[in-house]
Amino acid sequence: MNMDKLNSNAPIYPADELRTPVNVLAPDQRNFHFSVTSIEVLYAQISQCSLNAIVPEDIRVQFDTARNLFLHSFYVYRFYVVAESQVLTTLELALRECIGHKTLAVFQKKLKANGVHFTKGLRLYLEYLAQHQLIRNEDFPRWHRRNRMAAEDAYRDKIFKLMDEQGLEEYELDESEIDESAFDVEWDYVKVLCETLPKIRNIHSHGSTMLHNRVSLSFVNVSIIINKMYERTASENK
């Protein structure tokens, strides 16, 4: 145990302290550093992520709990990571309910017989979706932007090199110079999600002091995964 930390009398950042009825709706000033100047800004982001009516009510309620936490991060900045934890917990719950314990247990035994060992949990469940084509690369906007992102990275590298060679202190970027057609990136985004989402989930589950607001992508991905899973399993069962 770190006794220095245990005995520290350092004051808590005011926005992290227990709120009172007087200041419970006071904006957390840390949001302003990231252009989140009103709760409407966050609402515009999170309202774009929703679950379809085909998803059971209990799952939609849990998802909306995560969305409300995200929205209230305008007042309590630390709610961002709590919201991400909640939305990933909702994903795991939805996977278990939609696919079923028995089916997932059979899948786990099948993998084990082939030398692949996954314990029960989000990693196993996502692998099931991937292998059964219940989620696909083309489902995700980020996958469709892969060539654009590669082109932008290449363009920035080109400009940095040019500025260094010519001793330039500034350069006006011109988006028309970004050639997306020159790129055809092979990127298995579903595989990336299968590997990264459980890791993020575990970080939250085992306790963490990390603090950031970059959680909206998790909401986008989770909403897509849940919606597509229920849509495709419903069509398979017709």
Say what the pLDDT of residue 15 is. Answer: 86
Q: C-alpha distances in angstroms, 182 versus 38, 97, 158?
A: 40, 43, 14
The per-residue pLDDT for range 66-87, each reduced to its tens digit, is 999 999 999 999 999 999 999 9
Taking only the tens place, the pLDDT of each residue in 218-234 is: 999 999 999 999 999 98
**Model's pTM, two decimal places?**
0.83
What does the pLDDT look like over 115-147, one tens digit per residue?
A: 888 888 899 999 999 999 999 999 999 888 877
To 5 degrees, how large is the angle CA 136–CA 140–CA 145? 120
Residue 26's identity, in one-letter code, is A
Asked if 181 and 114 count as a contact pair (C-beta separation under 8 A), the reply is: no
The pair phi, psi for residue 134, each rounded to 5°, is -85, -15
CA 88 to chain centre: 8
Q: Give the number of other CB atoms < 10 A from CB of residue 37.
A: 11
CB atoms within 10 A of CB 195: 12
Residue 1 binned pLDDT confidence (cut-offs 50, 70, 90): very low
CA distance linking residue 20 with residue 122, whole number of Å? 37
Distances (CA, A) of 157 to 142, 146, 164, 225: 21, 17, 11, 34
Tell me, what amino acid is at 193? L
Please name the amino acid found at residue 148.
R
Residue 108 confidence (pLDDT) above 60: yes
What the block records as the tokens of 92 is 């795991």
Mean pLDDT value of segment 182-207: 88
Residue pair 122/95 in contact by the 8 Å Cβ criterion: yes
Q: Which residue reads 């469940």 in tokens?
A: 125
Q: What is the Cα–Cα distance from 170 to 13, expressed in whole angstroms?
A: 38
**b/e per residue, 146-177, with b = 16+ CB within 10 A?**
bbeebbbeebeeebeeeeeeeeeeeeeeeeee
- Beta-carbon count within 10 A of 59 CB: 19
Contact partners, residue 93, CB within 8 Å, separation at least 6: 59, 62
Distance separating alpha carbons of residues 8 and 165, to the nearest angstrom? 51
